[in-house]
Each structure stands twice: as structure tokens, then as C-alpha cells.
Amino acid sequence: MCGITGFYNGELKKEKFIESTNLIKHRGPDEEGFYFDDVAFGHRRLVVIDKQNGKQPMKIGNYVLVYNGELYNTKSLKEELIKLGYTFTGTSDTEVLLKSYIEWKEEAFVKLNGIYAFAIYDGEKVILVRDRLGVKPLYYSNINNELFFSSEIKSILKYYDLNTVNDDGLRELLGLGPSHTAGITVYKDVYEVKPGEYLEFIKDVKKKIYWNVEAKPFTDDFASCVKKVKYLLTDSIERQLVSDVGISTFLSGGVDSSIITAIAAKANKNLQSYSIEYEDNDFEANDFQVSKDIDYIKYMVERYDLDHKYLEISLEELAEYLKEAVDLRDFPGMADIDSSLLWFCKKVKKENTVALSGECADEIFAGYPWFYRDTGSDIFPWLRNLKMRENLLKDEWIERLKLEDYVKDKYEETLKEVSNLNEHQKMMYLNIKWFMTTLLDRKDRMSMGASLEVRVPFSDHLLVEYLFNVPQEFKHYKQEKGLLREAMADLLPAEILNRKKNPYPKTHNEKYTKIVANLLTERLNDESSILNILFKKDKLIDLIKSGGTSIDKPWFGQLMTGPQLIAYLYQFDYWFSKYKLKLG
């Protein structure tokens, strides 16, 4: 994986462009590369495949490419191009990608299988392309008819000295956050290339969609469906094991990560796997977290003779990394759900450059409770307690932002895109377009912040396309994700195969709540804090005094309850101060 930047159609400030590119050095600490001509491209490289022949930016004839990602069908594309007369100097997927575009132009995009964000200059225009599910990020601005793009927002902010957050930005953070509306950001004049979209830029932006999920008649019986799922998922995982450096896996003891680890272990007898635990974690089962991961990891370690490392994060470290997690996202995120992952990735990076992780399984196999249980929400089912969030604001901001109206509008706009689908497909669509992208954003920023490439085999578009049309009763065969369990049963110990779904682990220790409560209290004592401008101080004090226990159910997803709201507000204040933001 890498970090990319680019500038086109204006007078380049070269030194500032280089500085802006180096802000994303963490995405590619191994090499840097620049191309300056009619277009400026910058690249920070994390070497995974073909160190010598994969250098970027890459130029062939009039075509220049800068690319972040991995192609998992490099071999088949290369074979097809060789038949057409192309030759290759190495094994790099970068060369295959550029020659694919030279041969097929925009039609090449639908041939790609992988995770990617890239830009191509063809002598006349710049084209920006993002992968189908949004695994890899790509942001841009179009100020004064100039195009500036980057893997992370910080480069754009630096180049143009941008620091304005308008009302819609606040609505995104305080109403929808940590999810967000595709295509926009919380910053004025900064946008996002949507998943499955590409942009053409000459003197203005033209947007085109090259992929979306599609409703199709489903005719397979259950046995055929099981066989198809096994093939598609196994194929995805095996293709993602290709690397010139070692492969590791994240192993939680759940079904998703255990399947990936099992297939990886068969291919690599020296596989390293990793799990995270929290210092003095006083676990209590609830509707979402029903068992401790460590009790199940041992079954996989024993069955596959894994070189497994149990990593334990202290509560002080968990709070300490809240700031860096904001720096990597360029806005507040998932609080300690982010900071723990960042810490974890940094530990894994000490021994590995590539890891595989189980994100996206719940979205496509209908594993979340809201697929089969009423959450009591009439909007996005992972957004609950919205009224509670809104009531923390001062009255003038409640009236000005109208968070409930904004969120409901976004929900209804999304459903209008799929008015012809059945109810299960609508829920699938909501999850793919909103919840999945939130988790993929998190995984990219925190892993690349540690210079670790994390691959997500469940996000393979062929698997997603197929499962989009599989009926819910197949997916929920006997229990949640029953279809997945049935398809991969031969790989898993019975204890894991029958384990009830558990989300990413979090701390339940009151010590962590006290740490973040003290941090937020300190910021509230600063009268210039954005918290005192937007929020009712007495409400925040009450939240802190209660230790977050006044929030009796998650306000986002399955994990973010009272302590995470306190941490999120602390991140919000840190972000506003660190980035020297203004409202406008």
C-alpha cells in the first residue's frame, strides 16, 4: 500500500506540494517518488511486491500513473495483455495496471479485482479511480478549477491552508458520525471519490459510476449456494496471500478471522497471528458481546499450530492514542475502537508488513443484530440515541443544525436509490454504503498509520455481488451467518463454528472511563474550547459524572456507549484545536 498525491491545471507551488506529500509518509515509509511536467504526481511507497520494478510514479509513453493498492488478479490480466503483444519488466501490479488502462481505457476498471485508489494522466486529462467497496481512500479539491488529490485529507488542507468546517460538516460529525455521507467530507471544499466511481478532470470534474451492487434473480438452492460461497471466499483469501514479504492474520477467535487464518495457515506453515486484549478487562456479557475472545483463540492455535501473539494494551495507552487516531483520520472517529486498532497495528508492524483481517463479513452475511432484530430505530439501525446526542447541544445549535432532520434525509436519500429492492436487499445496501465504509475507513487509516498493509478478503466484489442476492433465510441458516458457517465448517473447530457472533473487543474497565473523563473535564475548563461553544456545559458535566452510565445502549454500532461518547467529544475538541478550525 502507499500514499498518493497529485496536482493539475494550475500554477504549482512545488515545495508546498512536496511538503503536502510528505505528510502521508506513514502510508509509504520505504520510498518517495515525484513526477513534474504538465501534471504533478507524488508517491510514498510501502514495498510489498517487486521492489525494483514497482517504483512510482510510473510513466509509459504519454501515460503516467500513481497508485495505492493491490490487484489480486494481476496474473490473469498480465496473461491477457501478453496475448495482445505487451511485454513486462517485472512482477509489479503497477505495470499491469497502467498497461491495462493503455489497452482498455475506462473499460479496464471493471476488469480489476483488488483494493485501489489511483490517478492516471493521459496527456489530456487526469482520471481518479477508487475501488468498488471503498477499501482505499481518495480525496480531492477543485478550487479555482485546479485539481488536487490525495490519499488523505491532510495533504489538501496543507496545500490550500484550508480550515473551515461548515454546518453540514458539523451535522456529519454530530449526527451521522463516525459514519459519513459518501462523496463529501466535513471540510468545506474537500471531497471524496465515492466507492465504485471514477472522475475525469480537464478543467472541471466529471463523475462516472463504474460499479454498484445489482438485484438479480436468485435461483440456487441452499446446497449450491453453500458450494458457491465456499469457492468465492476461498478464492478471495488465496489470491490475497500473494506477497514478496511475510503474511500474518488478525485472529479474534470468531468465525470470520478464523476462516481467513485457517486458509492462510494451510498455505504458510509459519503463519503468525495476532490478537488484542485490554489490561484488567472486567468482561460482562451483553446483547452484543457474549464471550471472551481469548477463550476461543486457543482452539485455532492448537488446531493449526499457529505462532500466535496475545497483545495487551494498557488503559493509559488506549487513551494516549486517541489523539494520533484523529491525526490519521483528519477528524474524530471511533474513539478507543480506533486507538486500540492503531496501537495493535503498530505492534504487528514490528514483525510484519502485511496482514489479513475479517472486516465486511457481517455486512454481506447479515451478521449484525439489526438484520434480524428490531433495533427500535426508524433511521440507520446502527444510529441510536440520536436525540440524546442532539440534546447535548446548546438550544441555538439544536435549532440551527436540526440533526434529526439531516440524518433522516440522508437515510431516505439512500433508500430512494434502491426503491425496487426487497427489504433484505435494502438493509444490505444500507450496510454496504454506510456501515461497511465506516469500518473500512477505520481499518485503512489506523493500519496505514502504522505502515501496515491490511487486506480484507470479505470485501471481494465477486463475493459481495453474489451475496447481495442471496435471501436472508439462507444467510441465517440455524443461526446468524449460518450460511458462512456451513460453507467453511470443515476448517473450524466446533467451538468456534458454533460461537455466537462477537464484535471487535473493547475495554469494560472503569479505569479507562475515569481517564477519558478527566481529559474531557480538563478541556471543558478551557472556556475557549469548541465544546463550550457548541454544547451545554452542564449536560457534559452530567455525562462525565455518570461515567457514561446514563447512556444505556450504543449510540453508534454495537460498541460505542458512554465511555466512547466521552472519548469522542474529547477527540472532537482535540481535532478542532489541533487543526485550528473555524466555523463557516
The DSSP code sequence of 493-532 is: -HHHHTPPP--S-----HHHHHHHHHHHHHHHT-TTSHHH
- Distance in angstroms (rounded) separating the CA atoms of residues 253 and 519: 33
- Dihedral of alpha carbons 207, 195, 158, 122, sign: negative
The pLDDT, as a whole number, for residue 385 is 86
DSSP state of 393: B
Cβ partners under 8 Å of residue 510, min gap 6:
282, 547
CA angle 490–494–498, rounded 5-degree value: 110
Query: How do the pLDDT tens digits run along the chain, 584 residues long?
Result: 699 999 999 999 999 999 999 999 999 998 999 999 999 999 999 877 656 667 899 999 999 999 999 999 999 999 999 999 999 998 899 999 999 999 999 999 999 999 999 999 999 999 999 999 999 999 999 999 999 999 999 999 999 999 999 999 999 999 999 999 999 999 999 999 999 999 999 989 999 999 999 999 999 999 999 999 999 999 999 999 988 788 999 999 999 999 999 999 999 878 999 999 999 886 555 454 455 778 889 999 999 999 999 999 999 999 999 999 999 999 999 999 999 999 999 999 999 999 999 999 999 999 999 999 887 788 999 998 899 999 999 999 999 999 999 999 999 999 999 988 999 999 999 999 999 999 999 999 999 999 999 999 999 999 999 999 999 999 999 999 999 999 999 999 999 998 887 777 788 889 999 999 999 999 999 999 999 999 999 999 999 999 888 887 889 998 899 999 999 999 999 999 999 999 98
Dist CA 332 CA 570 (whole Å): 9
Catalytic-role residue among 2, 225, 345, 360: 2
Is residue 6 within 8 Å of residue 148, measured between CB atoms? yes
- Total Cβ atoms within 10 A of residue 576: 22
Query: What's the DSSP call for residue 434?
Result: I
The whole-angstrom separation of Cα 91 and Cα 415 is 43
**Which of 280, 260, 276 is closest to 268 using CA atoms?**
260
Q: Which residues contact 279 (CB under 8 A, 6 or more apart)?
A: 312, 313, 314, 315, 507, 509
Q: Are 516 and 566 in contact (CB under 8 A)?
A: yes
CA dist 318 and 324 (Å) reads: 11
Residue 2 known to be catalytic: yes
The DSSP letter of residue 87 is -
Q: State how far the Cα of 5 lies from the Cα of 3, in Å rounded to an integer.
A: 7
Query: What is the pTM (predicted TM-score) of this model?
Result: 0.96
Distance, CA of 159 to CA of 58 (rounded, Å): 23
Closest CA to 69 of 440, 360, 324: 440
Place of cell 450504543: 554
What's phi and psi for 322, nearest 5 deg? -60, -40
CB count within 10 Å of CB 214 equals: 9
d(CA 342, CA 189): 28
Q: Are 296 and 254 in contact (CB under 8 A)?
A: yes
Q: Give me the pLDDT at residue 288, please.
A: 47
Contacts of 338 (CB under 8 A, 6+ apart): 321, 322, 325, 329, 442, 445, 446
Q: What is the DSSP letter of 281?
A: -
Residue written as cell 471524496? 192
pLDDT value, residue 515 = 97
What are the backbone dihedrals phi and psi of residue 565, each rounded to the nearest 5 degrees, phi first? -70, -40
Contact indicator for 248, 354 with CB cutoff of 8 Å = yes
Contact criterion met (CB below 8 Å) for 232 and 209: no
Phi, psi of 480 (to 5 degrees): -60, 140
Side-chain half-sphere exposure of 475, counting CA atoms within 13 A: 22
> 193 — phi, psi (to 5°)?
-70, 125
